[in-house]
Amino acid sequence: MLKKDLIRLILPLLALFTLVSSVLAGGWAIITLNDFPDYAVAGKPLNVTFAVRQHGQTLLAGLQPTVRATAANGLVAKAAAMPGTAKGEYTAKLTFPQAGEWTITVASGFNANATTLPSLKVIAPGNPEPGPYSPATRGLRLFTAKGCIGCHRHVEVNPEHTTDAKFDLTGKRFPPDYLRKFLADPSIKPAEMPNLKLKEDEIEALAAFLNKGLMKQVPQR
């Protein structure tokens, strides 16, 4: 009986030690997509290109990431990611067998780090393209796709995430011009944030999402 009690005591401690050791060794990373399209076409391969960044900064090479997509009806599509042209970059060719709403999960291959993206609309070949998202909605989607969820919290995206208050962006507002400059070049202020080389339209979308409702709060003269 004593031996069984000892085992029951030791096993949780070993699990905790493994978890702490993993964290101390830098056991977390974020996934940042180069592009996250508004839609895809069934039967047409979609290149899912992304980078894996340890602690959000250090690009990790030599991994074996995988990409998995699941349809609302349970159908699954998978693809292995191959190393890209830059260090820490990977590309997977993902083909959706049918139209519908699909959810993509990118597993980094670094410990258990993975990112589940907002649902992607897949249209049948020859069907008209869906209308574009509003800038704020596109920014909400990019908040996940660009890895912001790794360090930051926003109640509309990852309400379950716990973080330091300074990293919680819910309800915060920023001077629009400064926010655009910061997203384009985070080095303009002391911050542990990578330069993702965001495109101009991505910057506008993220700024629109983060400052959503700002104009409504400005007093009218």
Which pLDDT tens digit goes with each residue over 82-105?
A: 999 999 999 999 999 999 999 999
Give 32's strand partners.
Answer: 51
178 and 104 inside one domain: no
**pLDDT value at residue 99:** 98
78 and 143 inside one domain: no
Choosing from 123, 144, 160, the residue where a domain stops is 123
Report if residue 158 sits inside a domain: yes
Distance CA 35, CA 25 (A): 30
What is the number of domains present in the chain? 2
**pLDDT value at residue 27:** 77
HEC per residue, the chain: CHHHHHHHHHHHHHHHHHHHHHHHCCCCEEEEECCCCCEEECCCCEEEEEEEEECCCEECCCCCCEEEEEECCCCEEEEECEECCCCCEEEEEECCCCCEEEEEEEECCCCCCEEECCCEEEECCCCCCCCCCCHHHHHHHHHHHCCHHHCCECCCCCCCCCCCHHHECCCCCCCHHHHHHHHHCHHHCCCCCCCCCCCHHHHHHHHHHHCCCHHHHCCCC
- Residue 80 pLDDT > 70, yes or no? yes
In CATH, what number is assigned to the domain containing residue 206? 1.10.760
Report if residue 211 sits inside a domain: yes
**pLDDT value at residue 194:** 86
- Residue 181 pLDDT > 90, yes or no? yes
The pTM of this model reads 0.82
47 and 114 inside one domain: yes
Both structure tokens of 61? 């090479």
171 and 108 inside one domain: no
Choosing from 123, 144, 175, the residue where a domain stops is 123
- Tell me the per-residue pLDDT of 164-180, one tens digit each, with 9 for 90 and over: 888 999 999 999 999 99
- Tell me the per-residue pLDDT of 195-220, one tens digit each, with 9 for 90 and over: 999 999 999 999 999 998 654 444 33
